Structure 1
Amino acid sequence: MRFAILIALCLLVSVRGHPYYRDYIPNGYAVFNPCGANFWEAVGHYDPLHHTVLKNPFGVALSNNGHVWNEALCRLDSDGDGKTNGEELGDPNCTFTPGSTPSQASSGHPGICEPIGSGACADLAFRCGCHGHACIG
């Protein structure tokens, strides 16, 4: 029985997200949600509220960059919608450092191509409400 409880606790810890990563990016606690009125909490994931295993393109880029916001990550267009991560997160000049205030509010999501289903995003399989499971191609 103790072993089963230990395994359950380990699994719980392993699937929890890392909300403190939002401290490392501009407007991390106020990222635009293209699917609704609330902010996108799990910025690096396809599900806005849950830190699922499936990362969106920004989550992959942030992870590959050592979870560091710098000019290279800022200038990247992770989601392919024609706006840089910095533009979407309110740091168009790439000057944000953790603990500072970004120069602007977030205006887009760096890991979700928007407007969803139109223009550059038309060929992507992401749909709001699918939470990153069967709706991603």
Structure 2
Amino acid sequence: MSVLRSRAVYAAAVCAAVCLLATHETEAYKTFQRKVPNGGNVPGVEAIGHERAGGGPNNDFGLDFIEAMFKWTKTFCEKDSDGDGQTNGQELGDPCCEFEFRANEKVRWTEGVSHPGDPALKSDPKLWEGIVCGADAVEPEAPKVAEPVATEAVTEAEATGPKAVAEKEIEKKEETVLQAAVQGEAGTQQEKELTAGAPALHASVMLSAIALTVMAIYVVVMRSGRRSRSLPIFRQQRRGPK
């Protein structure tokens, strides 16, 4: 009964670990989608930075994303992660690398995006054929309107207001999810090794317990034999009749 109970407890612990890891990975995938342009609009792909559509090991795009510290930088945008001749920005609808998470979530198109981690999938070059990057910068500036100077009290209230606090909390949660995703592959591999080694470990423990039991019985028998030989009746038998 104790062996069955220990096995049940071990199985429950493994299931709980797997469920927790799966939850972290699902949340991480959604966070990654928001941090890149059109991250959730790639057809048939939920985990854009992984080899399989639903997850698995990181592909070249995912590795470059990790190298960029999970940020859509200009260098990362202009890079061709899958080597298909199109930049990551061109495949994700941001040919001019204008997208910035939360600050400027602007994309040139949402339909026709392709997978930047799969060289077999490419976008139609006509999508960015007539786009001149930097054109927005030469537009005439709107006349500036003088704004009242904010007092220190108002500035401090805006900086520490409920909205700012909420955004900081969201940032902390996202960083936790991202760290869990980076360590997800290593954790999954360790879990597989632990699960695979469990039967061998259990068998080794059982054999050790049996060996210790046999040794204990042997010691008890030997001690009992020695004590029985030291009794007076055995001494008389050894000496023989007088």
- Normalised by the size of structure 1, how large is the TM-score? 0.69
1:43 is aligned, of 44, 48, 73, to 48
Aligned to 2:33: 22
Give the Å deviation of 1:63: 1.5
State how far apart, in whole Å, the 2-side matches of 1:95 and 1:70 are. 9
Match of 2:20 among 13, 22, 32: 13
Report how far residue 94 of structure 1 moved.
Answer: 0.4
Moved more, 98-107 or 83-92: 98-107
Residue in structure 1 matched with residue 125 of structure 2 by the alignment: none
User: Structure 1: which 5+ runs fail to align?
Assistant: 34-38, 117-137
Once the 2 structures are TM-superposed, how far is the Cα of residue 3 of structure 1 from its aligned partner?
4.5
Contact 2:78 2:89 in 1 (8 A): yes
Query: In the aligned structure 2, how far is the partner of 1:45 from the partner of 1:26?
Result: 16
Which secondary structure does the structure 2 equivalent of 1:109 belong to? coil
Tell me which residue corresponds to 2:109.
Answer: 104
Following superposition, the deviation at residue 23 of structure 1 comes to 0.4
- For 2:65 and 2:20, the matched residues in 1 are separated by 21
Following TM superposition, by how much is the alpha carbon of 1:13 offset from its aligned partner in structure 2, in angstroms? 2.6
Q: Number of aligned pairs?
A: 108
Shift of 1:2: 4.1
SS in structure 2 of the partner of residue 91 of structure 1 = coil
Partner AA of 1:103 in structure 2: R
Between structures 1 and 2, the one with greater helix share:
2
**Distance across 2 between alignment mates of 1:69 and 1:3:** 42
Output the aligned Cα RMSD: 2.0
Deviation at 1:104, TM superposition (A): 1.9
Name the amino acid aligned to 2:117: G
Percent sequence identity over aligned pairs: 31
Contact map agreement 1:90 1:102 (CA 8 A) in 2: yes
Residue deviations 1:43-64 (CA, integer Å, cap 9, x gap): 011211x121x11110111112
Corresponding residue for 1:119?
A: none
* Per-residue Cα deviation, 1:100-126 (whole angstroms, up to 9, x for no partner): 13122253211000249xxxxxxxxxx
Letter of the 2:20 partner, please give it: V
C-alpha contact (below 8 Å) 2:77/2:88 kept by paired residues: yes
Matched, 1:74 2:81: no
Separation in 2 of the partners of 1:59 and 1:4? 32
| C-alpha displacement of 1:5 | 2.1
Quick check: 1:86 aligned with 2:92? no
Q: Does the CA-based 8 Å contact 1:108-1:114 persist in structure 2?
A: no
Q: With structure 2 as the length reference, what TM-score do the two structures score?
A: 0.41
Aligned residues of 2:83 and 2:119 also touching (Cα < 8 A): yes
Task: Supply the distance in 2 between the matched residues of 1:95 and 1:114 (Cα, whole angstroms).
Answer: 26
> Is contact 2:84–2:119 with CA below 8 Å preserved after alignment?
yes
Partners of 2:120 and 2:20 lie apart in 1 by 32
Structure 2 equivalent of residue 62 of structure 1 = 65
Task: Name which of structure 1's ranges 78-87 and 99-108 shifts more when overlaid on structure 2.
Answer: 99-108
Question: Which amino acid is the alignment partner of residue 113 of structure 2?
Answer: S
**In the alignment, is the contact (CA less than 8 A) between 1:79 and 1:110 conserved in 2?**
yes
